[in-house]
Amino acid sequence: MLFNLITLNLASIIAIIFNNNSKLLKLLRIKKLNNNLVGLIFTTLIFLFSLNLWIFFNRLTYKFQYLSNLNYFKYFNLDLILGIDGISLFFILLTTFIIPICIISSWSIINRFEYILSLLFLELFLLLSFSTLDFFFFFFFFFFF
């Protein structure tokens, strides 16, 4: 479930980039949508999907839940291990709740591709920093992004 939440966030970034590419939209004969609207739709879906983490969270255990072990970096012996506990669950919920509010509050002020893209990248790296269990990747996501 947690990995799917991060994948949905990556899909939203790809959708914003795809929406801004006018040559590709002309080729596929698709009308360009408002970047704020696309960002709001995806961040609302991400928030609704993150509510499932809270609904199905087992409050009776002290162990990490929704564990995912991704072994992408075998050569360096680095594993991207994702999981959440009780504190990071609420940080994830707060992050996914605040980002749609940021888009709504800046609706009439800013309609820029870069602004929405930076908010989506911010959400992605916050979710990754709150859910990673490996110290190297926590350092990477927290300090470099």
Q: Give residue 136's pLDDT.
A: 81
pLDDT in tens, the chain (145 residues): 888 899 999 999 988 888 877 666 666 666 667 888 889 999 999 999 999 999 999 999 889 999 988 887 777 777 888 999 999 999 999 999 999 999 999 888 766 888 999 999 999 999 999 999 888 888 888 877 6
Measured CA to CA, the distance from residue 134 to residue 132 in angstroms comes to 6
User: Could you tell me the two tokens for 20?
Assistant: 């801004």
Give the pLDDT of residue 120: 94
**Is pTM beyond 0.75 here?**
yes
Residue 46 near residue 80, CB atoms below 8 Å = no
Distance CA 13, CA 41 (A): 12
Task: Say whether 91 sits in a helix, a strand or coil.
Answer: helix
E-strand stretches of the chain: 65-73, 78-84
Domain spans, the chain: 2-143
- CB 116 within 8 Å of CB 103: yes
How many Å apart are CA 128 and CA 40, to the nearest integer?
20
pLDDT of residue 142: 80
